[in-house]
Amino acid sequence: MMELAPHRRSFPLAAGLATLATAVVAAWIELGLGGAGTALWIDDLATPLAAATACVACLRARARHGGRMRLFWTLLSCATACWTAAEVTWGVYALLLEREVPSPSWADVGYLAAIPLTVAALLAHPAVRGSGPRKARATFDGAIVATALLFLSWTLVLGPLWRGTDLSAAAGVVTVAYPFGDVVLVFCVVLALRGMTGADRLSLWCLLAGLLTMALSDSAYAYLAETGAYASGSAHLLDAGWVAAYLGIALAAFASSATVALPIGTEPSRPSLASLVAPLLPVLLALSVAAVQVELGHRLGRAAWLMAFGLIALVLVRQTLAVLELLGPGGRSGAGLAERFTEAAVGGAAVVDRATTVGPRG
């Protein structure tokens, strides 16, 4: 068995410290320890520190890699540098100038610049390359998760925000740009995650968790800012979400192995039960929210219905591709197809092999 690198062995400790730091910041803000002024300083110092930690971790991961993975971590370190600069700018407005952060502001330049850099990093990841049915299904997995997230965000936050925001003004465009940009990020990271196998998946799982947390925080911020419930001149519990997001990215860089697993496209195409079911969970959540909204008498609107029907269409196409994988080479006969369905449902050919080797009892 290959020995884990020192930074991989200490990952549980790093994850524990990141969780503890997030919890401390959240508790300090919520309880207002030391008064409102102290809580604001803790708030506006913790977020740039967390972003800077992610930037340093990405630079260290860059030094451990070569080729496309080096490019991936280079671009991601540039993105985290933009987030760090944006958080510092936000802190200058709130702490030193003691004024409300305008919208748009110079901080928005850094926040929004980080989105295309992160997308470019994810598209440069080796797992995004390849071809074949599994690659196509991975693309649809990313589209399904992103569409489900967009549907939830639109139904609960973006829809009301879109209808009540003046999109002719720069502030309105900036406000709604964050949730849409986060959906693109989630799509790209799911696409990369579905194309990886082996130990380095841990890194992408951490990155996905960080970006999902950022997406939820951005959507909540857009809604609270538009309704006047979020003021940049005071500490807000929501800011702990960005601390968690940045530390999630830092953990992704910390967990990244110097030896990257090969893309799944180079392996036999045999989908497991988990890979078939996992992308459908956000779909069930999205459709459940739609059912609740209809039951409560709320109108979903044309855009929400289009997203819902588009989500169903994506699922149907994706499941068709999964069946084509099961019908791949060696599985076109009835027996082969049954065996592959058994493998996908039960978790491997070991059960089938054991049954044929041992034979019936008695």
**List of the chain residues with pLDDT < 70:** 1-8, 103, 128-139, 153, 156-179, 191-200, 226, 232-233, 258-280, 293, 298-299, 325-362
Q: What is the pTM of this model?
A: 0.69
Sign of the alpha-carbon torsion through 224, 226, 228, 233: positive
Q: At what angle do helices 106-124 and 170-194 cross, to 10 degrees?
A: 20
How far does the chain reach from its first CA to its final CA, in angstroms?
39
Cβ atoms of residues 243 and 84 within 8 Å: no
3-state secondary structure 304-333: HHHHHHHHHHHHHHHHHHHHHHHCCCCCCC
CA atoms lying within 13 Å on the CB side of residue 231: 7
Cβ atoms of residues 83 and 110 within 8 Å: yes
Cβ atoms of residues 294 and 109 within 8 Å: no
- Quote the pLDDT of residue 36: 85
> Residue 212, Cβ neighbours under 10 Å: how many?
19
CA atoms lying within 13 Å on the CB side of residue 86: 22
As a whole number of angstroms, the distance between CA 89 and CA 238 comes to 18
Cβ atoms of residues 26 and 217 within 8 Å: no
- Quote the pLDDT of residue 356: 40
> Residue 146, Cβ neighbours under 10 Å: how many?
23
273: tokens are 């039960």
- Interior CA angle at 277 toward 276 and 281, to 5°? 140
Q: Give CA separation, 317 vs 146, 325, 344, in Å.
A: 15, 13, 18
As a whole number of angstroms, the distance between CA 354 and CA 348 comes to 11
- Quote the pLDDT of residue 50: 96
